[in-house]
Amino acid sequence: MINEQLLNPKSIVVVGASNNIHKPGGKIVKNLIDHGFKGNLYAINPKEDRIQGIPSFASVDELPSVELAVLAIPAKSCLPVVKVLSEQNDTKAFIIISAGFSETDEQGKQLENDLAEVVNKHNGCLIGPNCIGVMTPYHASVFTTPVPELIPEGCDFISGSGATAVFIIESGIPKGLRFANVFSVGNSAQTGVEDVLAYLDENYVEGKSPKVKLLYIENIDDPDKLLFHASSLIQKGCKIAAIKAGSSSAGSRAASSHTGALTSSDAAVDALFRKAGIVRCYGREELTTVAGVFMCKELEGKKMAIITHAGGPGVMLTDALEDGGLKIPAIEDSPEKTALLQKLFPGSSVENPIDFLATGTAEQLGEIIDACEHEFDVDGMAVIFGSPGLFPIRDVYDVLSEKMKVCKKPIYPILPSIINVKEEVSRFISLGHVNFPDEVLLGRALTKVIHTSKPTLENQPAHKIAVDEIRAVIDAADNGYQPPAIIHRLFDLAGIPRVKEIVATSESEAVLAAMNIGFPVVMKVVGPVHKTEVGGVILNVRNVAQVRKEFHHLFEIEGTEGVLIAQMASGTELFLGATYEEKFGHVVLCGMGGIYVEVMKDVASGLAPLSNVEAMAMIKSLKSYKILKGYRKQPSVNIERYADIIVRLSWLLRYATEIKEIDINPLLGNEQEILAVDARIRIEK
């Protein structure tokens, strides 16, 4: 648990301190001194009386009371030190740099658990082991560099990997990204990424706490905790971006349904992040670029103006933004457009991108920005201005800096000349601005931010779900794949529309069922899991004679227990399913059926239970969304009804966690109705 002694200690001891700054214990002391720790600083080194000018003791038994201990000693020596400091010195915060714990073997894991037990017993905080340390505005208890300037206006950064934390900081600093607190949690023996985020949420103070949070996560041990506190912070006005590494293929597994084959731990992470409102990133450059977007004023709309003195970058940025769904509208003819063009050099263009040539001046840039701010129908501006190295451009960056402060519309500065005008870019950044050296990375990051929805506040279904009846059906069901009668009952209780179906075990029952439902009908074998692979589905059965014939044909298939007679539905083929992922709960997948799900894997995921807003967002994120809306002569699908079915399924699963896999494939939909045609449900209690 994070505490004040970790964040703002009045005293720190470095156990394993050294005069050799090339050793972790030596570099920690140097960083603490160089970055202005104002409290009492002590060292533990049995061979030295002073370490880099601070008092050194032979053992922790000789220390006065100390609030924070940073350990850089062998793993086997850590537990006795932590016990003494906790019991005799009232130490309430520990950062263990040392490796050799759970990442090595079971013995190391046990040692790690013992450390956490001691710290918990004394209501302390433990960071690590196997980490680089912690940085706050009050102390830099790390053995690495760079140590960024730590200010409240910066971002909070929590990382499960120490080395990755360093690389992300190195990626962010040249872009002007500033940091407030950096937590490297390492093995997370007591305190993980979710715990730090929870502290930042529970202790958030409007106007004082950092608004931007960055996460690098390798393991999500408590998805519910992450979801709750991330959602809470975002609802308070914060913005969160995260990398979740290590789940691309290791989490996927073979399964007997489309849903099971498509779902993996990575799909669960996607669903979790989407539900929480977290922008998911896949690399450090993307993460720090998204963080830079967060640091700018918020874009309220999708219409961008691109202001450039170089044609190529403007074209590449246009492509990146439009590929992501943003618009680069042409500037309509008007007196204001004519007046602006007259202020620019001959050959300039005010079409969007607005190109004011390589010889463009600071004054001209100011005029263009003012026109975009007050006259033109755009929501934000991207300004590209580098230099071939011919003349100074400090005045251009000064104008850009001033306009970024006074304009209400966001301005995204793209200053690509990080060598030719290195000093000017550094000065621009020193004024408190971010820089996006790569226009395409900015375009992709901006579109990703725009398309990440805020967390929904809905936590109850918009319609009644028959919970008690659903529980009765589940409790009475056997483990394994369920017969049609149970599937029908669950769908009816959840309000999921389905085709009329009757199971027959004799020829006469099949005939009566077909006549009751009405021709044409579909006949399906009951028993084998993969019906189509054994020839167990007969479509468009139109008369009694054909019913008799196909009934006998289907009953000859090995494993047949009966024949299902079903209503013949028509429409666009849709897909809906879910699997239960350990810790995460049910991951719901939706998309178009057929080749769209089987070959193109065009599916969207969501974490149950879902709101109507979330379901609509899932549908709209599909590549095939335009087809669902109706494309050329293809009829549309009732998208609102589809969303409602997705929500109903998610709430069925909310109350029936024993359902480990459900596959509705296909749903057939048209403009009027959507019906479940075939489904499989696997229950494991």
Among 289, 305, 331, residue at a domain's last position: 289
The confidence score (pLDDT) of residue 529 equals 65
Please indicate, yes or no, whether residues 206 and 114 belong to a single structural domain of this protein: no
User: Residue 57 belongs to what H/E stretch?
Assistant: strand 54-57
In a domain, 210, yes or no: yes
Q: What is the DSSP string of 264-328?
A: -HHHHHHHHHHHHTPEEESSHHHHHHHHHHHHSPPP-SSBEEEEES-HHHHHHHHHHHHHTT-B-
Percent of the chain with pLDDT over 90: 84
Please indicate, yes or no, whether residues 225 and 285 belong to a single structural domain of this protein: yes
Please indicate, yes or no, whether residues 195 and 89 belong to a single structural domain of this protein: no
* Overall domain count for the chain: 3
Please indicate, yes or no, whether residues 118 and 45 belong to a single structural domain of this protein: yes
Provide the residue range defining the domain that includes 420.
Answer: 297-433
The confidence score (pLDDT) of residue 463 equals 66
The confidence score (pLDDT) of residue 494 equals 94
Please indicate, yes or no, whether residues 244 and 375 belong to a single structural domain of this protein: no
Model confidence at 308: pLDDT above 50: yes
| Residue type (1 letter), 420 | N
In a domain, 513, yes or no: no
In a domain, 619, yes or no: no
Structure tokens at 105: 């073997």
Mean pLDDT of 642-667: 94
In a domain, 89, yes or no: yes
Contacts of 53 (CB under 8 A, 6+ apart): 33
Please indicate, yes or no, whether residues 214 and 178 belong to a single structural domain of this protein: yes
Among 289, 320, 352, residue at a domain's last position: 289
Please indicate, yes or no, whether residues 160 and 73 belong to a single structural domain of this protein: no
Mean pLDDT of 95-110: 94
Please indicate, yes or no, whether residues 110 and 36 belong to a single structural domain of this protein: yes
In a domain, 259, yes or no: yes
Please indicate, yes or no, whether residues 371 and 352 belong to a single structural domain of this protein: yes
The enclosing domain of 89 has a CATH number of 3.40.50.720
Q: How confident is the model at residue 266 (pLDDT cuts 50, 70, 90)?
A: confident
Taking the C-alpha atoms of residue 157 and residue 94, their distance in angstroms, rounded to an integer, is 19
Please indicate, yes or no, whether residues 93 and 175 belong to a single structural domain of this protein: no
Chain-wide mean pLDDT for the chain?
92
In a domain, 305, yes or no: yes
Q: What is the pLDDT of residues 544-599, one digit of tens each?
A: 999 999 999 999 998 899 999 999 988 999 999 999 998 999 999 999 987 777 77
The enclosing domain of 364 has a CATH number of 3.40.50.261
In a domain, 461, yes or no: no
Model confidence at 136: pLDDT above 80: yes
What's the whole-model pTM score? 0.89
In a domain, 637, yes or no: no
Other CB atoms within 10 A of residue 224 CB: 13
Q: What is the pLDDT of residues 11-25, one digit of tens each?
A: 999 999 999 999 999
Mean pLDDT of 288-300: 97
Please indicate, yes or no, whether residues 301 and 379 belong to a single structural domain of this protein: yes
Q: With CA atoms as reference, report the closest residue to 675 among 684, 666, 683.
A: 666
Q: What is the pLDDT of residues 193-237, one digit of tens each?
A: 999 999 999 999 999 999 999 999 998 999 999 999 999 999 999
Please indicate, yes or no, whether residues 308 and 224 belong to a single structural domain of this protein: no
